[in-house]
Chains A and B, each alone.
Chain A
Amino acid sequence: MFAYLFQATTIPTLEQVVRFTQARHHVLAGNLANIDTPGYQVRDLPVEEFRNYLREFIARRQSGLPPAGSEVLSPGDLAYLQHAGGAFLPGTKRLEHFLRAQTVEPSPTVLFHDWTNCSLEHQVTEMVKNHLLHNTAMAIMASQFRQLQTAIAEHL
């Protein structure tokens, strides 16, 4: 039932953003850790692909289509949805598809004598951007949980 309770909020969308930013934080931390490793090639998650996925995800939710597998919040909800007539799309790409780091094509402008292409400034800025996105999603999510709580408690 919680799957339907949360359908009215943006919590499932925010959950996708949070999971992606947390995974990307790992990858960026790995890049920073290897800043002095000879021959290390920068890794990243496919941010642009994730954005497209999120766009589709939001469009699907707004048009009232049944949720894809990754939108289901818990195994219990998944069982419930399947019980209710298999109401989720099996063919759509899942979030897990984007949570795998790939090496970034070496940039012709940033290449150091030890054959790395890891620019400290770039990595730190990306990390800060990722951090802010995560915290924004988290703040909105927390406020929506508070709203739900208010609705459940029936008093302000």
Chain B
Amino acid sequence: MFAALDISASALVAQRLRLTTISGNLANMMTTRNELGEPEPYQPRFVVFQVDPSVGAFGASGVRVAGIERDPVEPIYKYEPNHPDAIKTGPYAGFVAYPNINMMTEFTDALLAARAYEANLGAVEITKDMTQQTLRILA
């Protein structure tokens, strides 16, 4: 019965990481600089889920995050010539590149992740109850 808990836990971890990634995207909605302080708009991240056969039993598999990928979407350009990160030359001179993050998509995704987390939590509760019922034979 413990393998069922492992399977559900793998999904809880994966969904939480997905939610963390979404939070990161929302937090960086207006970020125009990278980790080094250079002007570079934040690219939204998304998680990639993969079936994990190393967790499981009876032919059932868990899930794991294969990686966190960057969405190579075009940034949104806003004309702000006095901004310190405004582009100096080229066709976009005077424009500031802002991250192209769709708040609607992110919130929908967050809601889905929360619901999936909840579903797996329900599975954990059922596993716990089944184990408890099995142990009742002893008592």
Interface residues, chain A, with chain B CB atoms under 8 Å away: 18, 21-38, 40, 43, 45, 99-102, 120, 123-124, 127-128, 131, 134-135, 138-139, 141-142, 145
Q: What are 13 inter-chain pairs, A to B, with CB distance below 8 A? A: A25-B130, A26-B7, A27-B60, A28-B123, A29-B4, A29-B127, A30-B60, A35-B11, A37-B50, A40-B51, A127-B126, A138-B137, A142-B137
CA distance A30 to B58 in the complex (A): 10
CA distance A135 to B62 in the complex (A): 25
Chain A nearest Cβ from B131, distance in angstroms = 9
Q: Please provide the 8 A-B residue pairs with the shortest distance between their CB atoms, ordered closest to farther.
A: A101-B59, A30-B60, A33-B11, A27-B60, A37-B49, A138-B133, A23-B58, A26-B60
Given A34-B11, A120-B119, CB of A43 within 8 Å of CB of B130: no
Given A35-B116, A142-B137, CB of A134 within 8 Å of CB of B62: no
Q: Which residues of the partner chain A approach B136 to less than 8 Å between Cβ atoms? A: 138, 142
Counting CB contacts under 8 A, is B3 at the interface? yes
Q: Which residues of the partner chain A approach B122 to less than 8 Å between Cβ atoms? A: 124, 127
Q: Does the CB pair A26–B57 fall under 8 Å?
A: yes
Interface residues, chain B, with chain A CB atoms under 8 Å away: 1, 3-4, 7-8, 10-11, 14-15, 18, 48-51, 56-63, 112-113, 115-116, 119-120, 122-123, 126-127, 129-130, 133-134, 136-137
Given A35-B119, A138-B137, CB of A26 within 8 Å of CB of B4: yes
Option from B49, B59, B130 in Cβ contact (under 8 Å) with A36: B49
Residue of A nearest to B115 (CB): A120
Q: Does the CB pair A30–B119 fall under 8 Å?
A: no
